Structure 1
Amino acid sequence: MRSDNYYLRAFWGISLSLAAVKIIFTLRPEIDLFTEEAQYWLWSQNMAWHYYSKPPLVAVLNYLSTGLLGNTELGVRINAILAGVGISWVTYLFASHLYGAKAGFWAGLVAQAMPVWWLASTFHMTDSSLTFFWILAVHLVYRGIEEKKQNWWLWAGVATAFGLMAKMVMLLIFPSVLIYLLFIRGFKVQQKNFAVFVAVSLLGFVPALIWNWENNFDTFKHLATLGGAGDGESKPVDLGNSLKWFFEYWSGQLAIVSPFLLPIWFLCFRDIFKTKTGSSVYLILPGILAFSAFAALSLMKRVEVNWPVFAYTGFAVVLGGWIAGQSEIWTRFTKVAIILSIGIPVLFLLPDVTYLKSFAPIKKGEQKALSRLSGHVELAQRLEFLMDSLTLENEFYFSDSYHTASELSFYLPRNPQTYVMNMGSRKNQFDLWEDMSQFVNTEKVGVFVSMNHETMQERAAFERLIYEETFVPFYEGLPIRKVKIQIWENLKSYQPFVPDTY
């Protein structure tokens, strides 16, 4: 029988190797920041209590990490990579506490084998820190329930407060814990501890309340719109769309837990529903609640498949315990499934050391998958070349898309503040910042960059057009997208679309 130290060493060996793979991927010169990552980085250059659509933690982490590593891809993504290691480590600790070190090892691997956690631990999104603080809080609450000590509940409240500063959906932990306490008939005993937990947790709401009080409660209106409210006149339910959205959501959930692991997921859940042991119910309850809530929402609107995934961490813990108790046949099956689940993304993330990506279909598939992660450096370099060759200076950059504007700010020299000219989209963070009207009649050069429009549609009027072109960046010799570049002189008037939707 292998010792606990063996499983601990194996866990850390694999986890640190996978972290190294993600660092290598980040350092690949043809891979740029994902557009949402660039947006969150730009938030960190404009620090605030809160932002239009998200709490401040993602910006705070970017501010700290880029302060150490500079405004680089690694400076941004190191947050996600460390969060991924942290998620796996807490998963290991939780499963080891419940079922032993062998179960902890398998739980940690299951967490790292799920495709969606590859995304959250490679690209710095709000889900990165949310998922870490979620599993940490769930673990600490369980220890508090088990040992009936208020210190565990207090620290769980701290973890939950940080989770709320990552994403407000962290609130789901409250009904999850409450339902479990009622299930085990432990609420009366833990009533005071639960109250302490909630009180400390809600401190994480303070930044949101401060900012929203000063900004017309825009975040709450935005979240209401995402939840299907606030869209104006009510519309009749379209059964066809409802079924389409629901099955998209359902199939997406099967994919994000890894198709290779589906048989053991099924057998594990079958055994849980038969036995209904306390720890197993506690671990799967948040995931079931999150899945059900977003499944119901998917009948009214399209739901992103990643929305409930933060709550699936408990699934990895309970599955690790189940795997540890299985026969050699199922253990071998699990090894193969996890090797495939981890190995395929590793081949995808690493440079083409195997030359498999030289085959045209694979190369084109990778280019399509990475299209939003490439071409931004080339675009910034082209803009810099144009400004130098035209001997222009004192310019400002603007786009019709906050995605493009954010990428430009990150990759242009000296990281200038960029601007978004709203052409008809819903409100975003750029609508709350100082806009281009400050440049009217200032004789400055305006550089318009768009992947969606050929003209500014009379939203802005300049004195004269200096230069324009359509630029096409490439990925491994394949064209990525067409980008319209226009360089204008002296903004005369500015009338952007003013969104009334959230």
Structure 2
Amino acid sequence: MAGHSRFGISFLFEFIEEKCSILRDAVYSRFTILLAFHLLIVILRILYVQLSSLEIYSEEAQYWIWSRHLQLSYYSKPPLIAYLNWFSTSLLGNTPLGIRINAILIGFGIAMTCYYLTLELFHNRRTAAIASFLSYVLPFIWLPSSFFTTDSPLLLFWLLSLFLFWRAVNNNFMKNWIYFGICLGLGIISKYSILLILPCLFVFLLRSHSHVFRSRKLYVGVSIGLLFFLPVVIWNIKNDFVGLRHVQYLAGNTKEAVQIEKLAFNFLEYIFGQIVILSPFFIGFYIKILKSWIHKQLSDEMVYLILPGIMVFFVFMPIAFVRRSGVEVNWPMFAYATIPVALAHWAVTGKKTGRLGAGAAATFMLVLLITNLSVLDKVEIQKIIPVKFDPTSRLAGWKSLAQHVDSLKRRIPSTNCFVFSNNYHISSEMQFYLEEQPATYFLNYNNRMNQFSLWPGLEQFVNKKYYGIFISTTPIKDKLKDSFEEMGSFTTRKTLYRGTEINNFNIYVLKDFKGFEENNSHY
């Protein structure tokens, strides 16, 4: 009898092990398919960069130039983007792919972090998969996953920090607090905005996990993150705190008087801009989630996901009222990084995945349309949306302009020549697209400072028989013309996009630089 009992138990264990193995294989199989899908997206994005006619965005070009001058920090941003550009271009060359591979890989990282954060919070693989797919649809993630700016690493490390903080709070292992600190630190040297995560997390702890404040591990994690900020502080001390002054100016700490009509416009622009990057097709979901939050019907997990976005949204709102140019649409978008997780969970638990899928499809089609308006030129879409409002128009014409400048350089009877502009966007694009990518320079016509202002400038060419090629969208000023012995030639160069003029550049060849006193109007 005992033998039969042992046989029965043994059979039961074998049966359970077999079923668990089948289940485990099925889970691994589904994850393999998911991973293969995300890797396919990476490949498609690489092919798009290689085959697309769209050129480098001027901010991308600027950050690439930073990678040629590695420092502890930079005028307007911390240094991580320069380090990443230096590494990627060392491997892939100073090419568009050498720069944008960072954004593409970060996009992959964001999708996978959404997946694992969803699993950590809700323990549902279907919800996790949906959240990771949504990361390819939402405009505020699509942009930094396609173009490499400081928002790219910021978004990833904000998301990773939230993932690791939740894990640390719920198991209190020191290693997770350390990992959180490292991610926070990497976010700090990506963009200063990630410091806003700390008040968001502390408010969440006060709400439902106040006991964590009594744990020294919390302060160890935060301290590790803040240590990453030390090199940035050292750099600012050595450079008269220009980074801090720049941030103060962006926050609206100026003496400029702003008319009430402009304030109203800035406010509406801010609200509308956030709706666009969050996708208007998900407005119904957002409203229902907010209503549930107001009526205290949300779980701690859902509050954790939406609280940072709400807080940061209201942090930036006053700036729209005090800053003449308002708030840039991308400034708060990093705080929305967990939205794919919240949408996926809300749709799955409410059995609204069909509606979510329809919204995702509509959003994806809208993003494709906005970034490829040229496909509608045959139906004269320009009558509805002029080319100047096409966001991709800023990614065209630079290569042809550089080719024209190169042709002018070849006609100069001297190798002593420098290219400069009174617009750092032009200077940045020219340095990337000119032959052999020589250093270019920025001449300040009483405008705000930028990173070029902190590097050796035109003063190094004074009275050394140097030619200068000046590129501007405005006519040359007499003061600048008089800083050269004579003007050699003047040409204009129109750049076209979709058959329409988007820029008209004035290009001056000037001989024998005598010196020019620059002036920075503000930070």
Q: Secondary structure of the equivalent of 1:499? A: strand
Q: How does 1:91-490 map to 2 (within 5 A)?
A: 91-99=114-122, 100-188=124-212, 190-229=214-253, 231=254, 233=255, 235=257, 238-273=259-294, 274-301=296-323, 302-327=326-351, 330-346=352-368, 356-361=376-381, 368-451=390-473, 453-459=474-480, 461-490=483-512
Give the counterpart letter for 2:381 in structure 1: P
Q: Which runs of 5+ in 2 are unaligned?
A: 1-22
Aligned residues: 493
Q: Distance in 2 between matches of 1:164 and 1:182?
A: 23
Q: Which runs of 5+ in 1 are unaligned?
A: none
Provide, for residues 314-367 of structure 1, a one-character-per-residue CA deviation record: whole Å limited to 9, x for no partner: 22212211112232xx32221121122223434665797xx5454432697567
Q: Distance in 1 between matches of 2:431 and 2:176?
A: 43
Greater displacement, 275-284 / 397-406 = 275-284
Q: Distance in 2 between matches of 1:94 and 1:484?
A: 52
Q: CA deviation at 1:456?
A: 3.4
Q: Distance in 2 between matches of 1:266 and 1:349?
A: 28
Q: Distance in 1 between matches of 2:131 and 2:382?
A: 32
- Judge conservation of contact 2:88–2:98 (CA < 8 Å) in 1: yes
Give the counterpart letter for 1:66 in structure 2: T
Provide, for residues 215-257 of structure 1, a one-character-per-residue CA deviation record: whole Å limited to 9, x for no partner: 001111111111122x2x474x643332221121111111111
- Judge conservation of contact 2:141–2:337 (CA < 8 Å) in 1: no
Label 1:44 to 1:457 Cα distance change in 2 as closer, same or farther (>3 A).
Answer: farther
Q: 2:108 aligns with which of 42, 62, 85?
A: 85
Q: Distance in 2 between matches of 1:428 and 1:341?
A: 36
Label 1:359 to 1:9 Cα distance change in 2 as closer, same or farther (>3 A).
Answer: farther
- Judge conservation of contact 1:113–1:342 (CA < 8 Å) in 2: yes
TM-score (norm 1): 0.92
Say yes or no: does 1:38 pair with 2:61: yes
Q: Distance in 2 between matches of 1:81 and 1:165?
A: 20
- Aligned CA-pair RMSD: 2.4
Q: Distance in 1 between matches of 2:48 and 2:214?
A: 46
- Judge conservation of contact 2:212–2:218 (CA < 8 Å) in 1: no
User: 1:49 aligns to what?
Assistant: 72
Q: Distance in 1 between matches of 2:156 and 2:52?
A: 29
Give the counterpart letter for 1:84 in structure 2: G
Give the counterpart letter for 2:61 in structure 1: A
TM-score (norm 2): 0.89
Q: Distance in 1 between matches of 2:444 and 2:322?
A: 27
Label 1:61 to 1:86 Cα distance change in 2 as closer, same or farther (>3 A).
Answer: same
- Judge conservation of contact 2:370–2:391 (CA < 8 Å) in 1: no
Provide, for residues 265-313 of structure 1, a one-character-per-residue CA deviation record: whole Å limited to 9, x for no partner: 2223333443232111111111111011011222222011211111111
- Judge conservation of contact 2:167–2:176 (CA < 8 Å) in 1: yes
- Judge conservation of contact 1:11–1:108 (CA < 8 Å) in 2: no
Q: CA deviation at 1:395?
A: 1.2
Q: Secondary structure of the equivalent of 1:89? A: helix
Give the counterpart letter for 1:38 in structure 2: A
Q: CA deviation at 1:189?
A: 6.0
Give the counterpart letter for 2:153 in structure 1: S
Q: How does 1:19-38 map to 2 (within 5 A)?
A: 19-28=42-51, 30-38=53-61
Give the counterpart letter for 1:95 in structure 2: T
Provide, for residues 58-81 of structure 1, a one-character-per-residue CA deviation record: whole Å limited to 9, x for no partner: 111111111111110111111111
- Judge conservation of contact 1:65–1:78 (CA < 8 Å) in 2: yes
Greater displacement, 332-341 / 189-198 = 189-198
- Judge conservation of contact 2:165–2:176 (CA < 8 Å) in 1: yes
Label 1:223 to 1:390 Cα distance change in 2 as closer, same or farther (>3 A).
Answer: closer
Greater displacement, 173-182 / 138-147 = 173-182
Q: Distance in 1 between matches of 2:507 and 2:263?
A: 40
- Judge conservation of contact 2:491–2:508 (CA < 8 Å) in 1: yes
Q: CA deviation at 1:17?
A: 4.0
Q: Distance in 2 between matches of 1:13 and 1:356?
A: 33
User: 1:501 aligns to what?
Assistant: 522
Q: Distance in 2 between matches of 1:30 and 1:360?
A: 21
Q: CA deviation at 1:264?
A: 1.9
Q: CA deviation at 1:389?
A: 4.1
- Judge conservation of contact 2:471–2:507 (CA < 8 Å) in 1: yes
Give the counterpart letter for 1:106 in structure 2: I
Greater displacement, 125-134 / 422-431 = 422-431
Give the counterpart letter for 1:40 in structure 2: Y
Label 1:54 to 1:189 Cα distance change in 2 as closer, same or farther (>3 A).
Answer: closer
Give the counterpart letter for 2:273 in structure 1: G
| Higher relative contact order structure (alpha carbons within 8 Å, sequence separation ≥ 6) | 1
Give the counterpart letter for 1:361 in structure 2: I
Q: Radius of gyration: which is bigger?
A: 2
Provide, for residues 146-189 of structure 1, a one-character-per-residue CA deviation record: whole Å limited to 9, x for no partner: 11212111100000000000011111121111111111143356
- Judge conservation of contact 1:120–1:127 (CA < 8 Å) in 2: yes
- Judge conservation of contact 1:425–1:499 (CA < 8 Å) in 2: yes
- Judge conservation of contact 1:37–1:123 (CA < 8 Å) in 2: yes
Label 1:189 to 1:433 Cα distance change in 2 as closer, same or farther (>3 A).
Answer: closer
Q: Distance in 1 between matches of 2:244 and 2:396?
A: 33
Give the counterpart letter for 1:119 in structure 2: L
Label 1:171 to 1:62 Cα distance change in 2 as closer, same or farther (>3 A).
Answer: same
Label 1:228 to 1:165 Cα distance change in 2 as closer, same or farther (>3 A).
Answer: same
